[in-house]
Amino acid sequence: MKKTFNQEHIIGIICISIGTVVLSLTRSFPGGTGAINISGPAFFPNILSMILIGLGVLQILNGIFGKEEDIASAAAIWKGMKSAEFVNLLIMTALFIFFILAVEFLGFITTSAIFLAAVNWRLGIRLVRNLIYTAVFIIIIYLVFSIIFKVTLPRGIIF
Amino acid sequence: MDAFFSVFQLNVLIPWLLAMVLGIFVGGIPGLTATMAVALIVPLTYHMQPVAGLAMIIGVSFTSIFAGDIPATFLRVPGTPASGAAVLDGYQMNLKGQGSLAVTLDLICSTIGGTIGILMLILVAPTLSRFALKFTHFEYFWLGVLGLSMSAIISKGSRLKGSISMIIGVLISTIGIDVTTGYPRFAKGNIQLMGGIEFIPIMIGLFGISEVFRSIYTMQNMKVPVFNEEIKVSFKSLGKILNRNKRLIAQSSVIGTLIGALPGAGADIAAWVSYGLAKRTSKKPDDFGNGSEEGVIAPTSANNAAIGGTWIPALVFGIPGDTITAIVLGAMMMYGLKPGPLVFEGERFLVNQIFSVGLVSQVFLLVLGYLGIKSFSLIFKFPRNVILAGIMIFSMVGSYAIRNNIFDVGVVLVFGIVGFAMERAAMPLAPLILGRILGPMIEENLRIGLIKTSGSFAAFLNRPISFTLFLILVVMFLWDPIKKIVVTARARAKKQ
């Protein structure tokens, strides 16, 4: 029997938490007091969350009684993660968020240019190539999406 | 024969070939779908003769569904929803240095699958349509559950984790306006969430962006090309592979056509179900997910075969099999045609032209698909860091383009992070996609079925087709334990 906290436990707890949150949210749905009301909007999510909670319990039990070699420790999720690499991930995520927040204000071309130049810089592409690749990508995307497929790309204060 | 030769007139041939070339690029770019290409083409066909317009639509469908497998194989980014299942083993083959083999196998299987789909359309369309129309809410419910059960099969590693991933996918599908009551679920007043979470951004995030994050996280091989092989076709080795998998190609193509013929179930579901069944019936199921040639053959044969399938109810009854045939039906009416049983009598020549176009498109697909692979392989010769930046921006703009909604770009990011975390915890990603795709089909049919029967589940079991589907489901679940018992019993008998 394993006493240490392992990955199976984490996944199990997440499942039970999601299931519980869903069950509590569906309480406010019309007729959503249980899984009995077949025509109510809560019917299906309630069934799913109960299954998810059940699977979560099984997952925890697996973490306790499962074969030792099949179970990874909780720390394995973070294993091998170095701070510099983690920073890379954070920067990319931040750039993504920047794009989402800025594109409707600055417009597609300006935001994409800033986004791509920053991503290229972070990925180790040198300045001149960086500028060329950024320009080429934006032109291709503009041609394909905006000109050919008539997708209305966001236009901001500049472009 | 007149109908066959008539499709080779220049005013048909040129727009048809141009549309097929467009399809290669549409399929190869994540976020652009075959439906978008068809919607773009239809207005161009107003002043053309009907066969030219229909040839463009048929051609673009085949090339775009195939081309979706190209980025799926090289980058782990499915170009179209129908390529989701092709990611699993195609990308693994590429990592093993067999990317060239994987895409050429894709191409050949897409062509064979497409041909079988069209042949079935020609030979058994009325019979198949009558069968498909027997599917009511009860049968569709079991079909959806059967599809979901594939998640246990397709999961690499723990089946329990696969089931969790699948249930989360189905739960995600319940976000947004409930189709039965109109109640906005889990939206909390957010207009974007009321519209639900589209599965294309989920798929791009889970597979594509999570892979980008993984590469960025390790920062390894950044200056090395993504694909450094020559696209070479060894007819001898391809022939051997096709020969030893001929049963699988036939099985997947037939399943693809049958699923395509069911209104509402398209090429994406066909690919996943074929993949699951291929793994279930394979002698080497453990190879699936690790670069198995069978794992490439099954979904790629099925997704192109499904295109022929979707035309079956469209032509015979005027019922669209998927979004593309829905547009096609509108276009046919625009040309003054009335799809339905009478089209086979009144427009026999045009129907034969459509069949001819379907078959000849397979030959064009072979040539254009090969050129497409060559072109994309040149792009993938750029260093990994350049391609990664490209995947990111194309994924973002492609997701935005689906509904002209920046919210979908946020979905890509969220599921990119979720996918990255899930893979670190050895949780399979594919069942989540499957759950998201099949969730609405299961819920809608379960609830409407139950409302029809005032809450009784009996009708889900006492109809011949629904009971058969239920039995298949039971057999699939009991297959492994039964197999184990049989193997043990045989081993014991041998010892004695």
Residues B197-212 have pLDDT tens digits of 988 889 889 888 888 8
Say if the Cβ atoms of A18 and B186 lie within 8 Å: no
User: Which residues pair with residue B185 across a beta bridge?
Assistant: B176
Whether residue B397 lies within 8 A of chain A, CB to CB, comes out as yes
Report pLDDT digits (tens) over B260-276. Answer: 888 767 788 889 889 98
Q: Give contacts of B 167-226 with A, CB under 8 A.
A: 167-168, 170-171, 174, 178, 180-181, 183, 185-186, 212-213, 216-219, 222-223
Q: Is residue B455 part of a domain?
A: yes
Nearest residue in B to A37, CA atom = B455
Tokens of B226: 């993504």
Whether residue B448 lies within 8 A of chain A, CB to CB, comes out as no
Say if the Cβ atoms of B217 and A89 lie within 8 Å: yes
Q: Is residue B342 part of a domain?
A: yes
Would you say B397 and A73 are in contact if contact means Cβ atoms under 8 Å apart? no
Report pLDDT digits (tens) over B287-306. Answer: 888 889 999 999 999 999 99
Res A79: pLDDT: 66
User: Which residues pair with residue B385 across a beta bridge?
Assistant: none
Res B169: pLDDT: 94
Report pLDDT digits (tens) over B70-96. Answer: 988 988 888 888 888 888 899 999 888
Instruction: List the single range of B22-36, B163-177, B248-262, B314-328 with lowest mean pLDDT.
Output: B314-328
Whether residue A130 lies within 8 A of chain B, CB to CB, comes out as no
A158 pLDDT higher than 70:
no
Res B315: pLDDT: 80
Res B80: pLDDT: 82
For residue B142, the enclosing domain spans 2-229+245-460
B254 pLDDT higher than 70:
yes
Q: Across residues B135-152, what is the average pLDDT?
A: 84
Q: What is the mean pLDDT of chain B?
A: 86
Q: Is residue B54 part of a domain?
A: yes
Res B243: pLDDT: 92
Res B113: pLDDT: 94
B72/B3: higher pLDDT: B72
Res B229: pLDDT: 73
Count CB atoms within 10 A of the CB of residue A53.
Answer: 20
| Predicted confidence band of residue A74 (pLDDT cuts 50, 70, 90) | low
| Predicted confidence band of residue A58 (pLDDT cuts 50, 70, 90) | very high
Whether residue B34 lies within 8 A of chain A, CB to CB, comes out as no
Say if the Cβ atoms of A104 and B174 lie within 8 Å: no
Instruction: List the single range of B4-8, B153-157, B396-400 with lowest mean pLDDT.
Output: B153-157
Res B456: pLDDT: 85
Say if the Cβ atoms of A141 and B397 lie within 8 Å: yes
Say if the Cβ atoms of A44 and B446 lie within 8 Å: yes
| Predicted confidence band of residue A22 (pLDDT cuts 50, 70, 90) | very high
Res A80: pLDDT: 64
Q: Across residues B439-459, what is the average pLDDT?
A: 88
Total domain count for chain B? 1
Report the C-alpha gap between B99 and B40 in whole angstroms: 32
Which residues from B are below 8 Å from A15, CB to CB?
Answer: 164
Res B310: pLDDT: 86
CA distance B463 to chain A (A): 21
Res B295: pLDDT: 92
Q: Give contacts of B 451-490 with A, CB under 8 A.
A: 451, 455
Share of chain B above pLDDT 70, in %: 98
Cβ partners under 8 Å of residue B106, min gap 6 = B66, B69, B70, B73, B86, B90, B296, B300
Which residues from B are below 8 Å from A82, CB to CB?
Answer: none
Q: Give contacts of A 13-42 with B, CB under 8 A.
A: 15, 18, 22, 25-26, 29-30, 38-41
Res A35: pLDDT: 47
Say if the Cβ atoms of A22 and B171 lie within 8 Å: yes
Report pLDDT digits (tens) over A112-135. Answer: 999 999 999 988 888 999 999 999
Q: Is residue B494 part of a domain?
A: no
Say if the Cβ atoms of A97 and B392 lie within 8 Å: no
Say if the Cβ atoms of A116 and B393 lie within 8 Å: yes
Q: Is residue B213 part of a domain?
A: yes
Q: What is the mean pLDDT of chain A?
A: 85
Whether residue B286 lies within 8 A of chain A, CB to CB, comes out as no
Number of A–B residue contacts, CB under 8 Å: 154
Which residues from A are below 8 Å from B427, CB to CB?
Answer: 11
Which residues from B are below 8 Å from A149, CB to CB?
Answer: 32, 36, 40, 401
Say if the Cβ atoms of B180 and A41 lie within 8 Å: yes
Res B411: pLDDT: 94
Label residue A87 exposed, middle or buried (CB < 10 Å: 0-12, 13-18, 19+): exposed
Res B337: pLDDT: 77
B336 pLDDT higher than 80:
no
Instruction: List the single range of A21-25, A32-36, A105-109 with lowest mean pLDDT.
Output: A32-36
The closest CB to that of A151, out of B212, B390, B401, belongs to: B401
Q: Across residues A50-79, what is the average pLDDT?
A: 81
Q: State whether residue A80 is helix, strand or coil.
A: coil
Which residues from B are below 8 Å from A25, CB to CB?
Answer: 186
CA distance A120 to chain B (A): 6
Say if the Cβ atoms of A85 and B25 lie within 8 Å: no
Q: Across residues B396-423, what is the average pLDDT?
A: 90
Contacts 24+ apart (CB under 8 A), A13-19: A13/A56, A13/A60, A14/A56, A15/A52, A15/A53, A15/A55, A15/A56, A15/A59, A15/B164, A16/A52, A16/A53, A16/A56, A16/A57, A16/A60, A18/A49, A18/A52, A18/B168, A18/B171, A19/A49, A19/A50, A19/A52, A19/A53, A19/A56
| Predicted confidence band of residue A34 (pLDDT cuts 50, 70, 90) | very low
Q: Is residue B166 part of a domain?
A: yes
Q: Across residues B345-355, what is the average pLDDT?
A: 83
B325 pLDDT higher than 70:
yes
| Predicted confidence band of residue B344 (pLDDT cuts 50, 70, 90) | confident
Q: Across residues B105-132, what is the average pLDDT?
A: 87
Q: Across residues B436-454, what is the average pLDDT?
A: 88
Would you say B287 and B294 are in contact if contact means Cβ atoms under 8 Å apart? yes
CA distance B40 to chain A (A): 7
| Predicted confidence band of residue A33 (pLDDT cuts 50, 70, 90) | very low
Which residues from A are below 8 Å from B393, CB to CB?
Answer: 112, 115-116, 119, 137, 141
The closest CB to that of B183, out of A11, A41, A151, belongs to: A41
Q: Is residue B493 part of a domain?
A: no
| Predicted confidence band of residue A68 (pLDDT cuts 50, 70, 90) | confident
Q: Across residues A63-73, what is the average pLDDT?
A: 75
Report the C-alpha gap between A42 and A32 in whole angstroms: 5
Cβ partners under 8 Å of residue A9, min gap 6 = A59, A60, A63, A74
Nearest to A59 by CA among B387, B203, B425: B425
What ipTM does this complex have? Answer: 0.90
Whether residue A86 lies within 8 A of chain B, CB to CB, comes out as yes
B343 pLDDT higher than 80:
no
Tokens of B73: 């194989």
Report the C-alpha gap between B36 and B402 in whole angstroms: 9
Q: Which amino acid is at B19?
A: A
Q: Is residue B59 part of a domain?
A: yes
Q: Give contacts of B 68-107 with A, CB under 8 A.
A: none
A2 pLDDT higher than 70:
no
Where is mean pLDDT largest: A1-10, B336-345, B412-421? B412-421
Q: Give contacts of A 89-128 with B, CB under 8 A.
A: 89, 92-93, 96-97, 99-100, 103-104, 108, 112, 115-116, 119-120, 122-125
B45/B104: higher pLDDT: B104
CA distance B476 to chain A (A): 20
Nearest residue in B to A142, CA atom = B397
